Amino acid sequence: MDLSKLNALLIDDIPEMRSSVRIQLADCGLERCDTARNVKEAVDRISAKRYDLIVCDYNLGQGADGQQLLELVRRRKILPLTTVFLMITGETGYEQVSTAAEYAPDDYLIKPFTSQTLQTRLDRIIDKKQALRPVYQHLGERGERQKALAECDAMLAQQSRYALDLLRIKGDLLLETQRNDEALALYQSVLDQRATPWASVGMARALAAKGDGAAAKEHLSNAIGAYPNYLAAYDSLASLLEKDDSAAAQQVVEQALKVAPSTQRQRQLGALALGNKDFSRAEEAFRRTVEKDRTGFFKSHDDYSGLAKSRVEQGKVQEALTAIKEMGQHFARSAELTVRQAAVESIVHAKAGNPAAAKAALDRALEAAGTNSDIDVSASLELANACFAAGDQDQAKRILKNVAEDHQENDAVLEQAQAVFRSAGLDDEGEIFLEATRERMIRLNNDAVALAKSGELDKASAMLDEAADRLHNNAQVAINAAIAAMMRIQRQGASAELIDKAHRYITQANRANPDHPRLGEAVQLYRKFAPPDAPPLKVNL
Amino acid sequence: MSPLIAGAIHDAKNGLNVLNTWLEEARRAAPSAAIDEARAVAARVSAQLVELLALYRAGEDTLRLAIEDHDLTDFCQEVTSEVILPPGSALRIESDTDAAAAIGAWAFDAYQVKLVLQEALRNAVRHGAQHIRFAVAAQAGGGLRFTVSDDGPGFPQEVLDGEARAMDSDSSGIGLVFARLIANRHATPGGRHGRIELSNDGGAVFALLLP
């Protein structure tokens, strides 16, 4: 295979290793090869240029590893799925690489290796990437799952040699689009031929999606027994258990951490332990997340917040305040950071029995949040936490109502909101409150439709506009507001104001949830009713 | 076994890697039968150290296999291409891997299974006369069977009976212990495990069965 036209990036912190691997890459015919010495350089290069191939050493120094880097660039969507990622590892590191759950490299190579071995592997993985390209191009952020599924089926019909890879991708797509029965059938047919970890876990996920949580859990426990290194099994089991048995979920995450250390799971463990009131374990977990990574690339506000909370619960007030101070030192200034710091500080003071200091910090947090309507979910939820801790239930509920309305269709956010109620000791009240919010949002949409049908289109449109202007993350509301605007165009004729509205709300919905099942309907209406000189839509439909 | 010993095994392994690099270098400069013999010895010792480490970790309960799908055709090719035959010997490894293409991919720990199969091949090279056969086939009733057979004197009865591990007195028999361990650690959620089967049929026949 001719590799001379490919753009490659080699990432390794040790200069001798860089030059020796680079020579081996040249032996394979790869001439265009940039290098990066650390995570920062790698991220800069990957953001600036499109690479066909990335060769990365697992150990990157400063407590960072290649797996973290891969997760970071894939999650930030700066590394397309069409780029080949090859990890190089020592004999003891290979298990960690091969266990990667969500973001796995395309292949890994165990040191030492010859140029011949490198060449063979490169040929193989590049061939596979190219063969699967028709599918990959429809995956990812702006991807269209239906088209990806169609490509999978077409290639499977042609008896591709990568049939198993295609089935694996197809299974994921079926689960993502809630075609659970088909997913279950797919995994069952794979497992009838051969036992393989991904199909076992896929089977369990399909069972869980169909509502059979008990069977799913049993499947996952058996899968962990047979494949103790397969982290996806632990992750799936932990997320199932999180809903009804968070002590068991914590144990599963602890087990997974023994298999492979990961900042993400350390953070998850901290959050679970905090919820389970296992404060020393929580402190330990959060301390590891902030200490392991000396590059600063993989940390989050949550780590310092968790550290502060777990410390104050153990009576370590000064150490808790130190964690908040460190939060400020590790991240760039932003409204979210200000809110977060002040909110956690308020919680710490409230728990330490200093209501005046708690009140002062809470006021600062509320003031910083008040000037910024698009503050992120985690900062908003922290603020609600602080309000509860300071005894201001009304303010807390006002914030939670807004979050719940804004993220009405996002179960993960709603679960986090419920967790805020739970930690305030208001579990039952939270459930009622959130259910009422959900019903109110459904009623709003239903009422608007009913109003529109009974001829009061303007009134319906006004109702939806108000909601859409307030709830920027609610795709459902934005889509309905856009459709109402277009119905008015249809009946009353186009006006600049109505076209602008329709365009704005579709764009808003697309930003909130590009996969919303009703987005296509709104886009079609726009293309049908907007006059030729109307601004075009920048959506991928 | 103490962590000190595990560390020492590691050091020795790294030393062998460096030695191998020099041997490759020497072979490029001036190939000779002696260098090939040395490379074969280095490869064997290196494999034994990795096996020892795996046994140590099994004892410490930290050995976890990395089970993943692997293309069987590619895998078989890799297994046989890395085995070094004695210079000037009449031995040949005949691969019968037609079944590999039909089966496609299989889930197993390629690193460990490769070590098991290469150890078996090296054993066959040591004891075989002319022909060594390496084959892969689907098992009736599910599973995969790798077979390494030679045309030598076959396994001694004590080895077949499971009373002895070693083929001869100057070998520790770690290869078979390792093979049994890795075979057994391959399991399915349904509870099936891998195993090895030893038999004689015109020579020694070593089979690794994966679930």
Kindly determine whether residue A94 and residue B66, on different chains, have CB atoms separated by under 8 Å: yes
Average pLDDT estimate for A438-448: 90
Integer Cα distance of A124 and B73 in angstroms: 12
Integer Cα distance of B131 and A111 in angstroms: 32
* Neighboring chain B residues of A196 at a CB cutoff of 8 Å: 67, 69, 106-107
Closest CA of chain B from A21, distance in Å: 14
Q: Looking at this predicted complex, what is its ipTM? A: 0.88
Integer Cα distance of B76 and B65 in angstroms: 19
Helices (H), A454-495: 457-470, 475-492
Kindly determine whether residue B64 and residue A161, on different chains, have CB atoms separated by under 8 Å: no
At residue B47, the pLDDT reads: 87
HSE, CB side, 13 Å, CA atoms: give it for residue A336.
Answer: 14
Q: Please state whether the peptide bond connecting residue A112 to the residue before it is cis, i.e. omega within 30 degrees of 0.
A: yes
User: Which residue in B20, B67, B74 is closest to A230 by CB distance?
Assistant: B67
Residue A430 has pLDDT above 90, yes or no: yes
Compute φ and ψ for A236, nearest 5 degrees: -65, -40
The CATH homologous superfamily to which domain A1-137 belongs is: Response regulator (3.40.50.2300)
User: Which residue in B13, B107, B111 is closest to A197 by CB distance?
Assistant: B107
Closest CA of chain A from B30, distance in Å: 18
At residue A50, the pLDDT reads: 92
- Are B70 and B128 in contact by the 8 Å Cβ rule? The answer is no
By C-alpha distance, the chain A residue nearest B101 is: A161
* Neighboring chain A residues of B24 at a CB cutoff of 8 Å: 114
Residue written as tokens 């390209």?
A: A133
By C-alpha distance, the chain B residue nearest A160 is: B104
Task: Kindly report, residue by residue over A49-95, the tens digit of the pLDDT.
Answer: 999 999 999 988 887 889 889 988 988 888 988 899 999 987 766 77
At residue A123, the pLDDT reads: 94
Confidence band of B44 (pLDDT split at 50, 70, 90): confident
Compute φ and ψ for A50, nearest 5 degrees: -95, 115
Kindly determine whether residue B17 and residue A112, on different chains, have CB atoms separated by under 8 Å: yes
Closest CA of chain B from A357, distance in Å: 49
The percentage of residues in chain A with a pLDDT greater than 70, rounded to a whole number, is 97
Closest CA of chain A from B135, distance in Å: 19
Residue written as tokens 């805020």?
A: A420
Q: How far is CA B179 from CA B41, B148, B192, in A?
A: 20, 13, 17
Average pLDDT over chain A reads: 91
Kindly determine whether residue A223 and residue B66, on different chains, have CB atoms separated by under 8 Å: no
Average pLDDT estimate for A361-379: 87
Residue B13 has pLDDT above 60, yes or no: yes
Confidence band of B152 (pLDDT split at 50, 70, 90): very high
Closest CA of chain A from B115, distance in Å: 13
B145: contact with A, CB 8 A cutoff: no
Integer Cα distance of A239 and A529 in angstroms: 44
Residues A431-461: b if buried by 16+ CB within 10 A, e if exposed: eebbeebeeebeebbeebeebbeeeebeebb
Largest CA distance in chain B: 54
HSE, CB side, 13 Å, CA atoms: give it for residue B161.
Answer: 5
Kindly determine whether residue A229 and residue B192, on different chains, have CB atoms separated by under 8 Å: no
User: Which residue in B66, B107, B189 is closest to A225 by CB distance?
Assistant: B189
Domain boundaries, chain A: 1-137, 142-228, 440-529
* Neighboring chain B residues of A164 at a CB cutoff of 8 Å: 69, 104-105
Kindly determine whether residue A114 and residue B21, on different chains, have CB atoms separated by under 8 Å: no
At residue A63, the pLDDT reads: 78
What's the burial of A42, exposed, middle or buried (CB within 10 Å: 0-12/13-18/19+)? buried
User: Which residue in B64, B69, B106 is closest to A95 by CB distance?
Assistant: B64
Alpha-carbon torsion A215, A217, A222, A227, what sign?
Answer: positive
Integer Cα distance of A106 and A133 in angstroms: 13
By C-alpha distance, the chain A residue nearest B15 is: A112
Task: Kindly report, residue by residue over A504-523, the tens digit of the pLDDT.
Answer: 999 999 988 887 888 888 99
Average pLDDT estimate for A174-190: 95
At residue B166, the pLDDT reads: 64
B58: contact with A, CB 8 A cutoff: no
Integer Cα distance of A86 and A54 in angstroms: 6
Average pLDDT estimate for A312-319: 96
By C-alpha distance, the chain A residue nearest B21 is: A112
Multiple choice CATH, A440-529, 2.40.50.140, 3.30.565.10, 3.30.2130.30, 1.25.40.10: 1.25.40.10
CATH class belonging to B68-210: alpha beta
Kindly determine whether residue B66 and residue A95, on different chains, have CB atoms separated by under 8 Å: yes
Residue A374 has pLDDT above 80, yes or no: no
Task: Determine the residue among A92, A194, A222 to mutate to test chain B binding: the one whose Cβ has the most chain B Cβ atoms within 10 Å.
Answer: A194
Q: Which residue has the higher pLDDT, B9 or B150?
A: B150
Residue A314 has pLDDT above 60, yes or no: yes
Integer Cα distance of A149 and A154 in angstroms: 9
Task: Kindly report, residue by residue over A99-109, the tens digit of the pLDDT.
Answer: 766 788 999 89
Bridge partners of B96, per DSSP, are B135
Kindly determine whether residue A164 and residue B67, on different chains, have CB atoms separated by under 8 Å: no
Kindly determine whether residue A227 and residue B67, on different chains, have CB atoms separated by under 8 Å: yes
Residues B93-123: b if buried by 16+ CB within 10 A, e if exposed: bebebebbeebbbbbbbbbbbbbbbbbbbbb
Kindly determine whether residue A225 and residue B187, on different chains, have CB atoms separated by under 8 Å: yes
Q: How many contacts (CB atoms, under 8 Å) link A and B?
A: 67
Average pLDDT over chain B reads: 89
Task: Kindly report, residue by residue over A230-246, the tens digit of the pLDDT.
Answer: 999 999 999 999 888 99
According to DSSP, residue B35 is labeled H
